[in-house]
Amino acid sequence: MTIDGADEVDPELNLIKGGGGALLREKIVAQATRRQIIVVDDSKPSPRLGTHWPVPVEVLLFGWRSQARFLESLGAAIALRTNHDGSQFVTDSGNIISTAGSARSPTRGTWPFCWAREPASSITGCSSIWPTT
């Protein structure tokens, strides 16, 4: 059993995780567990994903610019996550995090992967995307 938290949850119990930056490792642990319990407090619910927290996308350092262009072509507004001192944030797997907010319609919700549910494995260079159910 795994007990974990989420950064944001919508009315259909879809989640945004990855605020701590361990996306790939957390997904591996979640996949290996028989039961996963997600705990959230009253600050986490939102009407739609991406309202309070941008969607984290863990990408390989090699080719991250092409991945950013690809995500932008789908309507995402991309920013690289940095540390408090302005240096590049690096995940525990040695990758970087692109945060993706919605650049298109604010009424459509968050950026495309949240409504398309496209698996990260289908996006070359992206090791983990975590809007999930």
Q: Which residues are catalytic?
A: 26
Domain ranges of the chain: 2-132
Report the CATH superfamily, name and number, of domain 2-132: ACT domain (3.30.70.260)
- Residue 105: pLDDT above 80? no
Q: Where are the alpha helices (DSSP H) in the chain?
A: 23-32, 64-73, 112-116
**Is residue 76 within a helix (H) or strand (E), and if so which, with residue range?**
strand 76-80
Q: Residue 101: name the closest of 87, 91, 112, 92 by CA.
A: 112
Query: pTM of the prediction?
Result: 0.73
C-alpha span between 118 and 116 (Å, rounded): 5
Is the distance from CB of 27 to CB of 35 less than 8 angstroms? no
pLDDT at 110: 45
